[in-house]
Structure 1
Amino acid sequence: MFYSRDFDDDFKLKIGFFHFSSCSGCQISFLDMFEDAVEVLDAVELVYSNMLTKKEEIPEMNVAFVEGAFCLEDKRHTELAREIVEKTQMIVTVGGCASFGGVRRFSVGGQAPQPAHQSFVPITEVEILRPKIKYAIPGCPPNPSLLYNFMLALLEVNEEFLQPFEYMVLTKDASGFDVIKEVVSKGLCVGCGTCVTACPSGALTFNQTYNKPMFEASFCVHCGSCLGACPQSFKPYPQPVYF
């Protein structure tokens, strides 16, 4: 990983945003983030975006933010993946589709794949990209404020803030079931309801009687928002021992 303290005052972090198969909502959130990010614009240079730049060739960059699922039948996806690997130092997957498969993998929410394109996998499972994937940002789409704080942490090398996003790369389910299994079932839930408010699909509801979240799997779009928002997740608690 590069470190900002190794650069001179004139250094600008060169970033690009790449689109695979998705609704482009993550990139829109990314662009919305810049409305409140005036203070970091002098330290960041957007060198590639299919929405904002007209460059046909992909330039070299420090960080590639990638949204959308990878289509196994689409040769253009393979070509783009190879070029990203060649041109960037680090990859950050943005949103549920790129990080965990999301609606593209589970065909949830009326976004079924096209007949000719049936096999979608998250970017985190594409073998040629995996060595350069450092962080995964959950959400469907991620909140612009989350993206802004992530960008600040990246520039400041705030490893404590970035660590959960590093763990997210290895997360497989990224659903409300993770909250139930990893937080509620282990007695770590404090009943704050943050996971419920973070859920974009209503898959999590709050049980007022027990002060705990309840999960309806059929509504889940596997975006990871709930697990990423939970203040009790990604903490180095000792695993419980059952007798």
Structure 2
Amino acid sequence: MFFFGDNFDFDSSDIKIKIGFFHFSSCSGCQVAFLDMFEDLVEILDTVELAYSSWLTKKREIPKLHIAFVEGALCIEDKRHLNLAKELAEKANIIVTVGGCASFGGVRRLSIGNQAPQPSHQSFIPLTEVELLRPKIKYAIPGCPPNPSLLYNFMIALLEVNDDFLQPFEFMANSKDASGYDIVKEIINKGLCTGCGTCVTACSSQAMGFNFQYNKPTFNPELCVHCGSCLAACPQSFKPYPQPVYS
């Protein structure tokens, strides 16, 4: 049985978990990734109710939800975005940010070409940095877009309360920098890299490469879109390695 908290008064007769899908500013690739794995979710449809989706339902009003899956970055100049953020804060018990834009800023954070902010530019921030939503955001799913298989496994783990599987996603919800820099800083520079190349295959922008002479991955920051896929895919990530003790 999944724990949703006690701050919402859901009808006790409701057995199904109410979920919703929401879109801020992004390419919608994350929602497409969800659609790609719906055939695999037939086995859990008896426990999940799709209560809201701008694509798949005709509802205009947002109902109370157990889980809200949200893609895209918030534009602070867009009143519709601000109103949607307020509704999610009121009506969603748990928020899961999906993809690099919602979780870390992604390509939306880089959309002005790394220029200094100007009055004519719109400002986009990841949902994990929106103070109104922070108390509700429990998990962040990396990717640009996330792999449908990853989304399916996440859904199953969420319903089965598989804390071991969910722990990295909870960690990423509190991470402000998920990119190839993390692979270099946290894995390679600490001597933890095994040269498996998983981070390279996970990268959607070819920012991660591989040096066959040294059997280690390489990183090109100019191509990185800060989606977090490489860090999430690395088998050496999120392991509780003991820290050295000096006497």
The normalised TM-score by structure 2 is 0.90
Amino acid at match of 1:3: F
The CA deviation at 1:11 is 2.0
> How many percent of aligned residue pairs carry the same amino acid?
74
Give the whole-Å Cα distance in 1 for the aligned partners of 2:42 and 2:244: 45
Unaligned runs of 5+ in 1: 110-114
Give the whole-Å Cα distance in 1 for the aligned partners of 2:176 and 2:130: 14
Q: 1:55 aligns with which of 48, 59, 62?
A: 59
The CA deviation at 1:88 is 1.0
Give the whole-Å Cα distance in 2 for the aligned partners of 1:108 and 1:28: 25
SS at match of 1:31: helix
1:157 aligned partner: 161
1:168 and 2:172 matched: yes
Amino acid at match of 2:205: S
Alpha carbons of 1:117 and 1:42: their partners in 2 closer, same or farther (altered >3 Å)?
farther
Give the whole-Å Cα distance in 2 for the aligned partners of 1:12 and 1:117: 43
Amino acid at match of 1:136: A
**Shift >4 Å, 4+ stretches:** none
Amino acid at match of 2:73: A
1:11 aligned partner: 15
2:196 aligned partner: 192
1:88 aligned partner: 92
Q: 1:232 aligns with which of 209, 215, 236?
A: 236
Give the whole-Å Cα distance in 2 for the aligned partners of 1:209 and 1:176: 20
Amino acid at match of 1:93: T
Does structure 1 retain, via aligned residues, the 8 Å contact 2:2–2:159? no
1:112 aligned partner: none
SS at match of 2:95: strand
* RMSD over aligned Cα atoms: 2.3
Does structure 1 retain, via aligned residues, the 8 Å contact 2:96–2:137? yes
The CA deviation at 1:213 is 0.4
2:8 aligned partner: none
Q: 1:121 aligns with which of 91, 108, 125?
A: 125
1:212 aligned partner: 216
The CA deviation at 1:2 is 4.4
SS at match of 1:82: helix
Q: Which moved more, 1:82-91 or 1:92-101?
A: 82-91
Does structure 1 retain, via aligned residues, the 8 Å contact 2:112–2:121? no
Give the whole-Å Cα distance in 1 for the aligned partners of 2:179 and 2:245: 24
Paired residues, number: 236
The CA deviation at 1:3 is 2.6
1:147 aligned partner: 151
Does structure 2 retain, via aligned residues, the 8 Å contact 1:108–1:221? no
Does structure 1 retain, via aligned residues, the 8 Å contact 2:99–2:227? yes
2:183 aligned partner: 179
Unaligned runs of 5+ in 2: 5-11, 114-118
1:76 aligned partner: 80
Does structure 1 retain, via aligned residues, the 8 Å contact 2:2–2:160? no
The normalised TM-score by structure 1 is 0.91
Amino acid at match of 1:206: F
